[in-house]
Structure 1
Amino acid sequence: MKPAKAALTGLLALVAALAAGHLVAAFVGLSASPYLAVGNAAIDLTPSWLKEFAVTTFGTYDKLVLLTGMAVVLAGIAIAAGLASTRSPLPGSVTAVVLGLVGLAAVLSRPDIGQLSVLAPLASLAVGLYVFRYLHRETQDNESRRAFLITAGVAAAAGIAGQVFGSRTDVEGSRAAVGDLTPKTKAPEIPVNADFVKDGTPSFITSNKDFYRIDTALSVPRIRAEDWTLRVHGMVERPTVLTFDEIRRRDLVEETVTLTCVSNEVGGPYISTADFTGIRIGDVLREAGVKAGADQLFSTSDDGFTAGSPLDYVLERGLIAIAMNGEPLPAEHGFPARLVVPGLYGYISATKWVTDLNITTFAKEQGYWMPRGWATKAPIKTMSRIDRPKRQGRVQGRTVVAGTAWAQPRGVAKVEVRADGGPWQEAQLGADVSDSTWRMWRLELDLKPGSHTVECRATDKSGYTQDQARLDPVPDGATGWHSASFTVE
């Protein structure tokens, strides 16, 4: 067999195997697709320092980079297996079986799949092995071109069909059918002077499409509101199950809340604010009757993600949210329901696609991020950042420095700015909307032409001023003063 045909044999067998697994997964659960399952397993096994590097380097494209890297590695393995099989199909056959078993192990490790999900990796293994041996035989008989074309066509059709059928759950139709979700208690109107957009700050309310996203899974769960339930159990007197309709019929409250990701570096973008509508977690748990000794709300997502929140904190402030900025939650932000807890970093509180609330203790259960080196309890730190001028930017005339500060749920009392290590000057603050939200600030500086560096620091309403020491996000959030160097012309 010629090397080019041998390499193509291995590559087409891989594509056929992945396409078959993806097609079967469309009917037993999309997360059972071997390709996605291996990717999710890779995410779960990745050490914290590497996760932080990926988020810092690639931002919200980190998963695309992972999938692309996996594709390159798998293609290389498949091509090598094909080249090693020019005389005998044994090396390629063994490789197909090994890759199939890796996919099976990855699927079995997922916490969010049913028993039938093993059919997807088994189909992938069987098809990959069969196609490799079939193409190897046809190539030896010099009938390879037709076999290659047929295999490529069938694999492409299977992959497309898997994607189509896997997306058949009509989430958008379910969102549209929800209709109006008018809260009985509305959030206060945002004052016009709450932000300084003209000076470079974000708008006070972040649009749904611009709201930051950090997920652990590679695919967004697709759940219809009419199929969703929320189980409340554990250390409670009266375990219960709530449906979406039961939640929407309650007295809904709307709150303006700023959510912050613990992965946010100093000056980072992973912070956003929205009006969330839902019901208070405290009301649900008091109805269930929390038993003495419980100290953790252990929440589980439909995709298997788990988070452990301090129970006393959640009882006081937490929401089960079903709407965001006046519309049902977008699918990528947790539809049908998610948790929103102002003042706690998202990794221990903001569970999207939430399906289970277990009242327990920190001694009994650990959330997803705890074994990976993150802190069990992580209140949001007092922080600020400079939004304008941008680093290495150029400014003409009088310099306006503008930015954002946050200290949920304590609230921001003041922000100070200094230029080139000089004295601190107090900035003008935007309207104080809520202690659970960010606060915008601005300051005009009269700087001479040339290079300059400005720094900022915030003080919260408890009197604490953010720490100057630069610390990485692990284990409980970054610290440090944000700075920006620029040139005045």
Structure 2
Amino acid sequence: MRDQRRLPTGSTAVAFTAAAAGILVAGLWAGLAQLGLATYPPFDLADLLIRASPGGLATWAIETFGHTAKRLLLAGGVLLWVAAWPALTLAVGRDRERPGMITAAISFAAGFGLAWWDGAQGGQLAWLVITLGLPAALGGLLLDRWLAGLKALDAERAREASDHWIDQPGDYGRRELLGRIALLTLGLGLGGVAIGRALSWLSGPETPTEAGEPLAAVAASPEPSVATPATSGFIAPDGVPPRYTDNAAFYRVDISTRAPNINQDSWSLTIAGQVDREVVLAWQDLLAMPAVTQDGTLMCISFTYDSGLISTTHWTGVPLRDVLQRAGIGDGVARLVCHGAGGYSDSIPLAKALDPRTLLAYGMDGTTLPRNHGFPCRLYIPDLYGEKNVKWLERIELIDADYRGYWQERGWTNDATIQIISTIETPRGTVTPGADGIVPLGGIAFAGSRGIQLVEVRIDDGPWQPAEIEPYQPELVWQRWRYDWRPAAGRYRVTARATDGTGALQIAAETDPHPDGMTGYQTVRLEVA
């Protein structure tokens, strides 16, 4: 008796087959992207979602998922892209002539449009058509073949039902269909591997070519604007961040899934707007100007305790005011609108631009800026949250009006002055005093350019006690602190607060980062064994 077991050939099978084709195409695109030969439309889609999202949603994602938010968004872009293939195929209809190629054509058109919108064409229209079109066409051809196999199986079943089937053709049809299923599975696997590698590649550590090259190889050594720190007796407890952050560990928040790939030889910075003369600086022009190296901490406006959205480094660059003096500042100028590659913009007051510590930075920690941190040029502005420190800087316009940039359009402050913060980095959980009975507490405090004059610690509801502050700390850098605590066994609440260099006390009332930056004291619960 003939085996009556059947494979599903309805909408579920069509959807699965089309999804496999979508994964194969997305995987081929991912492979080309990793080789630097093409853009990646699923990530262009993720960029579109970022820029279309309201400020509250972006804040929730950053606060909830932290550094994994971008990887989740990238994965979401891929899933949406793959899901579009079965949706389109079912909408087209499997009985229409060449539904796979129709789906592929729509997919290519969408991918091309997203890549063009995201600025990925790079002036090479034909290359963009080839790198996106060929994988899509291959996916469409295979999808049509796979769907034809499902149709053949349906036809064979119809013959079986009418008792007019013939053994050999039917067996051949099944063997052919199984071959196509094997090919589909292979495509599914290869596509999935390529997509997975792309996700790891884009969210993983920078390659050496992206990490910056030694500044000594591209520019004369600038004079440091701060003294070299003297050795002191301060010992930071284990768990407190080092004085300076390695470039690879420096926090990063962008509105794009990928950093722009900018060639410094073709890059330029334009100073325009209400100026006496427009100034255009090429890369070598910027390097030839007198530069300084200064220590500075950068902090994201979405910072919350334990978020990691704060880092410190040595910035190297040219004071922005020197470039503005070349251009000549027009009458009535109030703000500078700063434009970065990829469509990001924000503005700063003229007074901040004229601060000699505000830099057109091209180096950090002794190297040129890593690609992810703004190469070839970015702003570093003391006292303002990271949103104002525009990366991949291309144009600065002087205006006599207010300006609302990307984040201000989503409800964030246009002032962006850094709030006073103090963190408790260590210890956590259950602790055991050392042989001397001491449990060292430690953390950092920061208040932008206002500096920190005092950090205090309170145990439960007891009095505030001053902590030891690291002696060397420039005003633009976070302040590391230590408090040697001698507790008895038990459970405790430990709270920290700071006072800035002007005498202002950290705000105790707790507020969310949106829209003006987080406020409130940090409290941790400890158990002493």
Task: Report the TM range for the smaller structure's normalisation.
Answer: 0.7 to 0.9
Change over 3 Å in CA distance of 1:80–1:225 after alignment to 2: closer
User: How far apart, CA to CA, are the structure 2 residues paired with 1:288 and 1:345?
Assistant: 27
> 1:347 aligns to what?
387
User: How far apart, CA to CA, are the structure 2 residues paired with 1:460 and 1:112?
Assistant: 45
TM-aligned CA deviation for residue 211 of structure 1? 1.2
> 1:70 aligns to what?
77
User: How far apart, CA to CA, are the structure 1 residues paired with 2:526 and 2:183?
Assistant: 59
> 1:241 aligns to what?
280
TM-aligned CA deviation for residue 372 of structure 1? 0.9
Change over 3 Å in CA distance of 1:64–1:25 after alignment to 2: closer
CA RMSD of aligned residues (A): 3.6
> 2:420 aligns to what?
382
Whichever of the two has the greater Rg, that structure is 2
What are structure 2's unaligned runs of at least 5 residues? 1-7, 153-172
Change over 3 Å in CA distance of 1:203–1:87 after alignment to 2: closer
Q: Would you say the 8 A contact 2:408–2:414 is kept in 1?
A: yes
After superposition, the C-alpha distances for 1:84-138 in whole angstroms (9 at most, x for unaligned) are: 8885258877766665565455445436766766747777776655553343235
> 2:503 aligns to what?
463
The answer as to 2:270 corresponding to 1:231 is: yes
What are structure 1's unaligned runs of at least 5 residues? none
User: How far apart, CA to CA, are the structure 1 residues paired with 2:9 and 2:364?
Assistant: 59
- Structure 2 counterpart of 1:210, which letter? A
Aligned with residue 512 of structure 2, among 461, 472, 476: 472
TM-score (normalizing by structure 2)? 0.80
> 1:395 aligns to what?
432
Q: Would you say the 8 A contact 1:400–1:445 is kept in 2?
A: yes
Between the aligned residues of both structures, percent identity stands at 29
The answer as to 2:417 corresponding to 1:410 is: no
TM-aligned CA deviation for residue 227 of structure 1? 2.7
The answer as to 2:365 corresponding to 1:325 is: yes
- Structure 2 counterpart of 1:447, which letter? P
Give the 3-state SS of the residue equivalent to 1:226 in structure 2: coil
TM-aligned CA deviation for residue 452 of structure 1? 0.3
Aligned with residue 524 of structure 2, among 462, 467, 484: 484
Change over 3 Å in CA distance of 1:148–1:288 after alignment to 2: farther
- Structure 2 counterpart of 1:395, which letter? T
User: How far apart, CA to CA, are the structure 1 residues paired with 2:451 and 2:56?
Assistant: 31
After superposition, the C-alpha distances for 1:312-370 in whole angstroms (9 at most, x for unaligned) are: 2122131011111112222222222211111100102x22222222222453x431111
Change over 3 Å in CA distance of 1:355–1:211 after alignment to 2: same
- Structure 2 counterpart of 1:412, which letter? I
Aligned with residue 21 of structure 2, among 13, 25, 38: 13
Q: Would you say the 8 A contact 2:20–2:188 is kept in 1?
A: no
Q: How does 1:121-160 map to 2 (within 5 A)?
A: 129-141=140-152, 142=173, 143-144=176-177
Q: Would you say the 8 A contact 2:237–2:441 is kept in 1?
A: no
Change over 3 Å in CA distance of 1:269–1:224 after alignment to 2: same
User: How far apart, CA to CA, are the structure 2 residues paired with 1:63 and 1:54?
Assistant: 9
Give the 3-state SS of the residue equivalent to 1:298 in structure 2: strand
Q: Would you say the 8 A contact 2:104–2:139 is kept in 1?
A: yes
TM-aligned CA deviation for residue 264 of structure 1? 0.3
The answer as to 2:410 corresponding to 1:372 is: yes
Aligned with residue 263 of structure 1, among 292, 302, 320: 302
Aligned with residue 493 of structure 2, among 447, 450, 453: 453
Q: Would you say the 8 A contact 1:9–1:82 is kept in 2?
A: no
Q: How does 1:12-31 map to 2 (within 5 A)?
A: 12-18=20-26
After superposition, the C-alpha distances for 1:268-321 in whole angstroms (9 at most, x for unaligned) are: 321111111110111001111121222222222222222212222122131011
TM-aligned CA deviation for residue 228 of structure 1? 2.1
The answer as to 2:442 corresponding to 1:435 is: no
Q: Would you say the 8 A contact 1:301–1:355 is kept in 2?
A: yes
TM-score (normalizing by structure 1)? 0.86
